[in-house]
């Protein structure tokens, strides 16, 4: 197939006139991104479902582009999970994330889309990156071992985006979102991330009368968290305002230790029992905190929801009468930070 014609870059994209395709748009982050686009006046938003479009195959991606005819593609779809899920599924997480991204970027080129926004992951950073994580440190080493296959698969998509920009003029931009949380998160103990896992453990222990919960690791690692609605706002702002080749961190710029986080969640959940640490289980990356200056300077994003407020909203969601007790997001529904 002949190369696509080089595309001009835009200083501002009018999402009200765009035909938008959001992969992973039915997932945790994706639902909020779709809502945020609509709040900004978008009228044509296409959300492909896995049952109809297998994005790990070129045929599925080709059909998605044919039906959606997008001018703007936001690639959020990913196979995700916490430390345990990453440890148990390294091959699947590498293959499916790499294949989905590679096919989406390639077909964006073939279809000459005006803009492509790709969500990477904080897991792509090297294990011993100095705090705060600056985007130029992305290539200074290998990711933390338990989620390296996922992180490397996502990191490869940055290379593809930059290569396609140079050779084909594809306006592909790449975001590095930190660990996300909020209402609608996945609370399944086998695949959830740390905040929903701790909320579920504390509330279930409180309700059952258990006096002890067990948490993986020793509690010393630090993490940065971003409320999901803030993350969605960042994605839409990026789609509207940023056209550069460099990756952009998306986060709050604030860190907390897992030990302090666990105690904070226990207090908010009214669980006053013991928090025991299982040091036979992995800690994951030793620390995470982002330099978020680029996002602020290049497309005007700053986090608005403080962790305490966001945790209260997430706990309220978990305890709400209308939430199905067995509600679980599939592993392939969303993108974002892992543990």
Cβ atoms of 20 and 70 within 8 Å: the answer is yes
CA–CA gap between residue 109 and residue 129 (Å, rounded):
33
Q: Provide, for the chain, the percentages of residues in helix, strand and coil under a 3-state DSSP scheme, each rounded to the nearest 5.
A: 40, 15, 45
- Which residue in the block uniquely carries the two structure tokens 């994580």? 133
Q: Is 233 helix (H, G, I), strand (E, B) or coil?
A: helix
HSE-up of residue 304 (Cα within 13 Å, Cβ side): 9
Q: What sections of 169-306 are H helices per DSSP?
A: 194-208, 228-241, 258-268, 293-299
Catalytic residues: 150
Pairing between β-strand 172-177 and β-strand 72-75 as defined by DSSP bridges: unpaired
What is the number of H-type helices and E-type strands within the chain? 10, 11
Q: What is the dihedral of CA 293, 296, 301, 306, to 10 degrees?
A: 50
207-211 — which CB contacts under 8 Å span 24+ positions?
Answer: 210/273, 211/273, 211/274
Helix (H) or strand (E) run with residue 165 in it: helix 148-168
Residues in Cβ contact with 278 at an 8 Å cutoff, skipping those fewer than 6 apart: 214, 215, 216, 217
Q: What is the Cα–Cα distance from 273 to 294, expressed in whole angstroms?
A: 42
Residue 107 DSSP symbol: H
């Amino acid at each position: 197939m002949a190369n696509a014609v080089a595309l001009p870059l835009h200083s501002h994209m009018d999402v009200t006139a765009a035909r938008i395709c959001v992969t992973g748009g039915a997932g945790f982050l994706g639902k909020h991104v779709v809502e945020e686009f609509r709040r900004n006046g978008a009228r044509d938003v296409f959300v492909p479902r896995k049952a109809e479009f297998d994005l790990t195959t070129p045929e599925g991606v080709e059909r998605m582009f044919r039906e959606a005819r997008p001018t703007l593609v936001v690639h959020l779809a990913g196979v995700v999970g916490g430390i345990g899920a990453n440890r148990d599924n390294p091959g699947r997480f590498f293959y499916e994330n790499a294949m989905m991204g590679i096919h989406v970027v390639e077909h964006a080129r073939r279809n000459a889309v005006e803009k492509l926004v790709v969500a990477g992951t904080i897991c792509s950073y090297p294990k011993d990156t100095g705090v705060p994580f600056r985007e130029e440190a992305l290539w200074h080493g290998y990711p933390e071992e338990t989620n390296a296959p996922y992180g490397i698969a996502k990191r490869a998509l940055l290379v593809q985006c930059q290569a396609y920009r140079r050779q084909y003029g594809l306006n592909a931009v790449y975001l590095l979102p930190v660990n996300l949380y909020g209402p609608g998160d996945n609370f399944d103990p086998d695949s959830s991330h740390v905040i929903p896992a701790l909320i579920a453990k504390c509330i279930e222990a409180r309700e059952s009368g258990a006096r002890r919960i067990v948490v993986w690791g020793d509690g010393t690692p630090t993490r940065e968290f971003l409320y999901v609605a803030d993350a969605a706002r960042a994605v839409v702002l990026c789609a509207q305002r940023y056209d550069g080749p460099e990756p952009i961190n998306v986060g709050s710029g604030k860190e907390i230790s897992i030990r302090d986080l666990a105690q904070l969640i226990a207090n908010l959940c009214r669980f006053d029992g013991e928090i025991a640490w299982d040091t036979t289980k992995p800690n994951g990356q030793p620390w995470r905190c982002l330099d978020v200056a680029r996002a602020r300077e290049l497309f005007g994003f700053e986090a608005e929801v403080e962790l305490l407020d966001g945790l209260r909203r997430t706990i309220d969601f978990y305890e709400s009468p209308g939430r199905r007790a067995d509600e679980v997001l599939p592993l392939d529904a969303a993108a974002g930070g892992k543990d």
